[in-house]
Amino acid sequence: MTQTATPVVQARGIVKRYGHVTAIDHSDFELRAGEVLAVIGDNGAGKSSIVKAICGATVPDQGEILIEGKPVRFTSPIEARDMGIEIVYQNLALSPALSIADNMFTGREIRKEGWMGKYLRMLDKPAMEKFARDKLTELGLMTVQSIKQPVETLSGGQRQGVAVARAAAFATKFIIMDEPTAALGVKESRKVLELIQDVRARGIPIILISHNMPHVFEVADRIHIHRLGKRLCTIDPKDYTMSDAVAFMTGAKEPPAQDAA
Amino acid sequence: MSEPTNPARSGQEFEQDLNRSDARVAEFEVQNHTLLDRIQHLLHNNPTLVPVIVLVLSLVAFGLIAGGKFFSAFNLSLILQQVSIIGILAAAQSLIIITAGIDLSVAAIMVLMSVVMGNLAVFAGVPSGFAILVGLAGGVGAGLMNGWLITRVKLPPFITTLGTWSIFYALLLWLSGAQSIRGQDIDTEAPFLKFFGASFDVGGARITLSSILMIVVFVVLWYMLNKTAWGRHVYAIGDDKEAADLSGIRTDRTLLSVYGLSGFICALAGWASIGRVGSISPQSFYEGNLDSITAVVIGGISLFGGRGSIMGALFGALIVGVFRSGLRLSGVDVLWQVFAIGWLIIIAVAIDQWIRRVSA
């Protein structure tokens, strides 16, 4: 264990059972500062379960989770979000009929200053629209005509962009992305992968859940391979091939002896 | 930023032709926009436009058919007065329909609370102001009961409110002994109950306070829905509840507040109805819930939730009022009024479906 910095997330011995099914079986998890950590695993291996336990969507039965060295116990994703942990869900969690600006701020709207905001609880729409426009511009996504246009008028890639921009704008600790390229075409996937690298360049670590090996190997700094409810190993994509990774996660090949991971 | 230093990372091998690929997005729609498409888009962005157009057209049509007696200030203010109670109920109903729910119990809550107010003030000798407060609180309680069953017990709104409609209706028959409270008794014991029946004349128009209350209710709700975070959350829940949940909205709490507020508005309508009707009758407004849904639907608020402006319900209520008044003044049998309203509902829903199919 030769680590210089405290990991952003460190989870040890996480267990989650649903009746007779053990979704997480004494699993460990580690996310380091500034990295893109891909989480891969076969269907049913429990990769979503472990990530859900980290972001508060499920409460683990056993085990401890440390965020920046401090133990936490989230009971809902909202608590995790309040700590600066953002999640980009596979279904994006956007409200189609609301505008881009409204969507970026759902659940954390800005109110007007003074009595209008305090007593009439009036929203500061100009401020919200400006912030949304700035964030989208930063990520090179301001190809949309208007920040007020409803999300349902956007393409799949643009919607993904709005969801990523929302996460990047508010995340202070890290971002979890669940299959961000699964529903996208070739070109749009490329855009999302570039976005992931942009976000990492800002120093925000990312947990990337994906089935897409080429995408994983392209952007990940380390790969967490999940098998039968626990972490099998973490590998460096530079040292292994995609076939190795697939062999590990399906059990066709023994994992390498673990060092510091 | 995207690591141009490392060529191995700048894309997959099969993607290397991407930068030479055709950058055009499918654009055929742009040239192909017919007038109908444009209308569809316009209506999609402004869902209140349909009821406004229908309202203006029907005013013009009945003005031509029925002439001056329809277009008099007195008749127009009378329409406003006639729709005021159903209009307020429609405001409550709109809130719930925007969350993709439906409330069949709105009219039962309204009449039940008017009976509560009447019993307390007229028979129990409680000061009118206090009786009204109890009634309004009862409305909130009845709404919260609906909301609790829907959010905590996880029952569908339709079934929940079908059940509470019967429950509230039975309670109001029991509390009233199926007897009306006569207008004279209210006048002598608790005239304040009839507050919203008061009116004043402005140049031939007779404006009742209940009409003003209706407009105030709509303006306040419009503000809440469009200018506050709460309102945005109400729309987000109706649009996609799961997504709203995931994006950090406390959906159940918001839904509870919607049902509580809707119950309060129903009780307010109950108070206003005492002034409007002049007495308290347990048999009144038996179809009020359906009339409120009619106004909401004609007003262009989608029954699937998340779409439409609350002002649409006001226009919807006015359209129904204009049709009733216009057809009556044109000497058309009552049954054809019912017939016309039926078609209006169907056409309104058909237009809503068409608008929702809008292509991006």
What one-character-per-residue DSSP string does B200-264 give?
EEETTEEEEHHHHHHHHHHHHHHHHHHHSHHHHHHHHHHH-HHHHHHTT--HHHHHHHHHHHHHH
The pLDDT value recorded for residue A143 is 66
Residue A37 pLDDT > 60, yes or no? Answer: yes
A30 domain-assigned: yes
Contact between A135 and A148 under an 8 Å Cβ cutoff? The reply is no
pLDDT score for B120: 95
One-letter amino acid at B149 equals: L
Cα separation, A68 vs A11, whole angstroms: 11
Separation in Å, CA of B223 to nearest CA in chain A:
9
A109 touches chain B (CB under 8 A): yes
User: Are B246 and A89 inside 8 Å of each other by CB?
Assistant: yes
| Bigger pLDDT: B56 vs B43 | B56
Residue-averaged pLDDT of chain A: 87
Hey, CA dihedral for A22, A27, A32, A36, is it positive or negative?
A: negative
Mean pLDDT of all residues in A29-54 = 89
Confidence of residue B19 (pLDDT cuts 50, 70, 90): low
Average pLDDT over residues B53-67: 88
CA distances from A34 to A1, A5, A19, A202, B102 (A): 19, 11, 37, 8, 49
Q: What is the pLDDT of residue A261?
A: 44
pLDDT of residue B211: 95
Residue B204, by phi and psi: left (phi above 0), alpha (psi -120 to 50) or beta? left
Beta-strand ranges (E) seen in chain B are 199-202, 205-208
B136-159, pLDDT tens digit by residue?
A: 999 999 999 999 999 999 999 999
Q: Answer whether A121's CB lies under 8 Å from A154's CB.
A: no
| The pLDDT of residue B171 is above 50 | yes
Distances A107 to A110, A111, B184 between C-alpha atoms, Å: 10, 12, 52
Q: Which of A81, A106, A112 to mutate to test the interface with B (most CBs of B within 10 A)?
A: A106
Residue of B nearest to A55 (CA): B246
Report pLDDT for B26. Answer: 44
Percent pLDDT > 70 in chain A is 95
Contact A153 B360 (CB under 8 A): yes
Closest by Cα among B89, B136, B100, B53 to B289: B89
pLDDT score at B56:
92
Mean per-residue pLDDT for B263-285? 94
By Cβ distance, the residue of B2, B235, B242 closest to A98 is B235
d(CA B300, CA B210): 24
Nearest to B239 among A78, A96, A121 (CB): A96
* Cα of A153 to nearest chain B Cα, Å: 5
User: Looking at the domain assignment, is residue A52 inside a domain?
Assistant: yes
CA of B256, closest CA in chain A: separation in Å?
Answer: 17
Q: Determine the structural domain holding residue A46 and report its residue range.
A: 9-84+171-250
Tell me the average pLDDT across A200-204. Answer: 90
Q: Give residue B354's pLDDT.
A: 85
* Number of domains making up chain A: 1
pLDDT number for residue B360: 44
Is A32 a residue whose pLDDT tops 60? yes
pLDDT, mean of residues B205-210: 92
- Give percent of chain B above pLDDT 70: 90
Q: Is the pLDDT of residue A260 over 60?
A: no
Output B31 or B339, whichever has higher pLDDT: B339
Residue A165, chain B, CB below 8 Å: the answer is: no
Is residue A140 situated within a structural domain?
A: no
Question: From CA B147, how far away is CA B163, in angstroms rounded?
Answer: 13
| ipTM of this complex prediction, to 2 decimal places | 0.83
| Chain B closest-CA separation from residue A132 CA (Å) | 16
Using 50, 70 and 90 to split pLDDT, how confident is the model at B9?
Answer: very low
Taking an 8 Å cut-off on Cβ atoms, the answer to whether B248 and A154 are in contact is: no
Three-state SS annotation for B35-74: HHHHHHHHHHHCCCHHHHHHHHHHHHHHHHHHCHHHHCHH
Contact (CB<8Å) A121/B3: no
- HSE-CB at A261 with a 13 A cutoff on CA atoms is 17
Mean pLDDT of B248-267: 95
- Using an 8 Å CB-CB cutoff, list residues of chain B that contact chain A: 1-3, 9, 11-12, 15, 18, 21, 25, 223, 227-230, 232-233, 235-236, 239-240, 242-250, 306-307, 360
3-class SS shares of chain A: helix, strand, coil, % to 5: 35, 25, 40
Reply yes or no on whether the pLDDT at B165 is more than 90.
yes
Mean predicted confidence (pLDDT) in B20-46: 65
* A78 vs B contacts (CB less than 8 Å): 248, 250
Tell me if A58 is assigned to some domain. Answer: yes
Tell which A residues from 10 to 29 touch B, by Cβ distance under 8 Å.
none
Tell me, what CATH number does A63's domain have? Answer: 3.40.50.300
| Residue A123 β-bridge partners | A111
List of chain B residues whose C-beta atoms are within 8 Å of the C-beta of residue A214: 12
- Per CB-CB distance under 8 Å, the chain A contacts of B239 are 95-98
Spell out which residues of chain A touch residue B24, defining contact as CB-CB under 8 Å: none
Chain B environment of A92 (Cβ under 8 Å): 243
The pLDDT of B278-286, averaged and rounded, is: 90
| More confident of the two residues B258 and B353 | B258
The fold for domain B46-355 equals ABC transporter involved in vitamin B12 uptake, BtuC (1.10.3470)
Subunit contact A153:B228, Cβ cutoff 8 A: no
Domain for residue A176, yes or no?
yes
pLDDT at A222 over 90: yes
Instruction: For residue A72, list its beta bridge partners.
Output: A65
Q: Is B60 exposed, middle or buried (0-12, 13-18, 19+ CB in 10 A)?
A: exposed
Instruction: List the single range of A4-8, B8-12, B292-296 with lowest mean pLDDT.
Output: B8-12
Mean pLDDT (whole number) for A156-163: 86
**A71 part of a folded domain:** yes
- The set of residues, in sequence order, having a beta carbon less than 8 Å from that of A126 and lying 6+ positions away, is none
Looking at residue B16, its pLDDT comes to 66
Q: Which residue of B18, B223, B250 is in closest CB contact with A186?
A: B18
A235 in B contact zone (CB under 8 Å): no
| Residues paired with residue A9 on neighbouring β-strands, in sequence order | A31, A67
Identify whether the C-beta of residue A184 lies closer than 8 Å to the C-beta of residue A218: no
pLDDT surpassing 60 at residue B8: no
Conformational region of residue A5, where left means phi above 0, alpha means psi within -120 to 50, and beta covers everything else: beta
Put simply, the answer to whether B229 touches A198 (Cβ < 8 Å) is: no
Residue B231 has pLDDT above 90, yes or no: yes
pLDDT digits over B237-249, tens only? 999 998 898 888 8
Contacts of B246 in chain A (CB under 8 A): 77, 87, 89, 91, 93
Give how far the C-alpha of residue B272 lies from the chain's centroid of Cα atoms, to the nearest Å: 17
* Res. B12: pLDDT tops 80: no
- Is residue B29 very low, low, confident or very high in pLDDT (cuts 50, 70, 90)? very low
